[in-house]
Homo-oligomer: A and B are copies of this chain.
């Protein structure tokens, strides 16, 4: 099977599946080494961008999904009215960013950073599947630990957690130990 054909099949799989599809699944279907598949998809992503295709391949951790491009939003809006997805409140965004950078983290820790309760914000972002329970802290009360989901990456267009905006490293250690 030549590379062109593999790309073609991958495009067909992503198109059919619609939802995020994992590298493992793709590799096992076309029976090709995972790393090789990753390499091919990476080059597909570049090609789609270079050729200014109407669709793009987005990546979240090791999952891939087809989507339209943000710059075509106004055109597509003329075709169908997107159900207005309310954007996140500041409280939800703050809570989410704390979880994103400090995960896994308990609710108490989040609240101590924010200085306020965050039950409501937390339940909003759990409901939106941006955050999930990732375990329990092995101490009194076994509090829930929260972490972000793949949906979180997708929501903000991040390939992985490494893609998170850099925040000031300066304050992190120096001051905590002060």
Chain A residues in the interface with B (C-beta under 8 A): 4-5, 7-17, 19, 21, 25, 29-30, 52-55, 66, 68-69, 72, 75-76, 78-80, 84, 90, 107, 119, 122-123, 126-127, 133, 143-144, 171-172, 174-175, 177-178
Complex CA gap A21/B107 in Å reads 29
Cross-chain contact A177 with B144 (CB below 8 angstroms): yes
Instruction: Tell whether, in the assembled complex, residue A12 and residue B78 are in contact, meaning their CB atoms are under 8 Å apart.
Output: no
Closest to A73 in B: B12
Closest B residue, CB atoms, query A4: B52
Give A55's nearest chain B residue, CB to CB: B15
* Cβ contact of A75, chosen from B30, B90, B133, cutoff 8 A: B30
- Our pick among B11, B30, B78, B143 for the contact of A29 (Cβ within 8 Å) is B78
With A54-B11, A80-B17 already in contact, the answer to whether A171 and B72 are too (CB < 8 A) is no
Copies in the complex: 2
Name the contact of A127 in the complex, choosing from B84, B144, B171, B177 (C-beta under 8 A). Answer: B171
Q: Report the minimum CB–CB distance from A95 to chain B (whole Å).
A: 12
Determine which of B10, B52, B174 lies in contact with A8 in the assembled complex, contact meaning CB atoms within 8 Å. Answer: B52
Going nearest first, the 6 A-B pairs with the smallest beta carbon separation are: A11-B54, A12-B54, A8-B54, A12-B68, A12-B72, A29-B78
